[in-house]
Amino acid sequence: MKRTFLLIALALAVGAAIPLFIGGRALLPELRSLPAEVWLVALGSIATGWLINATRLRLVLGGLGQKLSLPRAVGKVMAIEFATNATPAGSGGAFAYVYLVAQRGIGSSHAAAMYALDQVLDLTFFLAALLVIAPLLLAGPSDLHLGWQLGALLTLLLGGCVLLWLMVRDYRRVLLWAGRMLHHLRISVARRRQLARWILRFRHGVSLLLGLARWRLALVYLLCVCHWVVRYSILFWIVRGLGERVPWSYLFLTQMLSFSVGQAALLPGGSGGVELGFSALLAPWLPAATLAAALIAWRCATYYWLLLAGLGPFLLLIGRRVWQQDTPAT
């Protein structure tokens, strides 16, 4: 737990240093020019996203015969987002999701299947969105050289979809591959069998989820689309509030690429990588001070606020267990 908070502090320091370096003394006056209404829209969009994701969670659990109140669902969503943003590459998000969902009387493999379905829906949305906005971006200014960025994103999204598809459709090959890898790593036979059983239960859980009513799955996907459109529109309103005009489609691509770069960073929230990617992509569009102010405001709404607001629910729902695991036995 202490290591996590140290990493968060380092991430905050790195994330603040980059826009301060870019904007210099002109950063604070530019940031002050951002209307209060934009801050309200940004924070309201985050709250709307929490409600949307909580409703998604309730819909899936309801299809499995489990009930969850909206306030409790919102608390779980906030705790999951904190865990995602407080760990490198968002690795803690999966653990938090499985742990919190399994508390509803669902096995961990079924909870992991729910998490996988959530990721599949997200990947499907981003893949579809990229296919829609790519022609618009390629028809824009040729000096932006967007071909390789779009190609890289498309490759990543397709690769993620293929891996998840193999987990469900060709699980025998996954089992054989995992068995060989674990054998080379000298993992015990008992552990390998335990993993094999978990993968089989995971596949069974995915089958149960795909067997949900079509209207329920369609509504869950529609809510997924609404969540990401609302979340990815925050930057658009921030840039508008600073008096600049950048196409929504380009800002969408900027965020996708910035978060992809951040995945390779070793700090929570992709700090350092996200800021550098953001700055490189928007430098042709915005003056330095405006770019730095937009970066600070965007990260405040979509990262720092998620950490601050999600800390309480995380400590309440998960923190005690994590602390007990980190505390050595006496």
pLDDT in tens, 57-108: 999 999 888 889 999 999 999 999 999 999 887 888 888 998 999 887 777 7
Tens of pLDDT, residue by residue over 189-217, are: 776 666 666 666 666 666 767 788 899 99
Q: Please report the pLDDT score of residue 110 as a whole number.
A: 78
Q: Please report the pLDDT score of residue 6 as a whole number.
A: 85
Q: Please report the pLDDT score of residue 153 as a whole number.
A: 64
Q: Please report the pLDDT score of residue 112 as a whole number.
A: 82
Tens of pLDDT, residue by residue over 289-316, are: 999 999 999 999 999 999 999 999 999 9
DSSP conformation letters of 60-100: HHHHTT----HHHHHHHHHHHHHHHHTSBTTHHHHHHHHHH
Specify the number of domains making up the chain.
1
Question: Which one has a higher pLDDT value, 174 or 113?
Answer: 113
pLDDT level of residue 140 (50, 70, 90 thresholds): low
What is the distance between the alpha carbons of residues 316 and 39, in angstroms, rounded to a whole number?
28
End-to-end alpha carbon distance in the chain = 18
pTM for this structure?
0.84
CB 275 within 8 A of CB 252: no
What is the distance between the alpha carbons of residues 197 and 183, in angstroms, rounded to a whole number?
16
- Average the pLDDT over 312-330 and give the result: 67
Q: For residue 219, with 0-12 CB atoms within 10 Å meaning exposed, 13-18 middle and 19 or more buried, which class applies?
A: middle
Tens of pLDDT, residue by residue over 239-273, are: 999 999 999 988 998 998 888 888 777 789 899 99
| Domain around 114 | 2-326
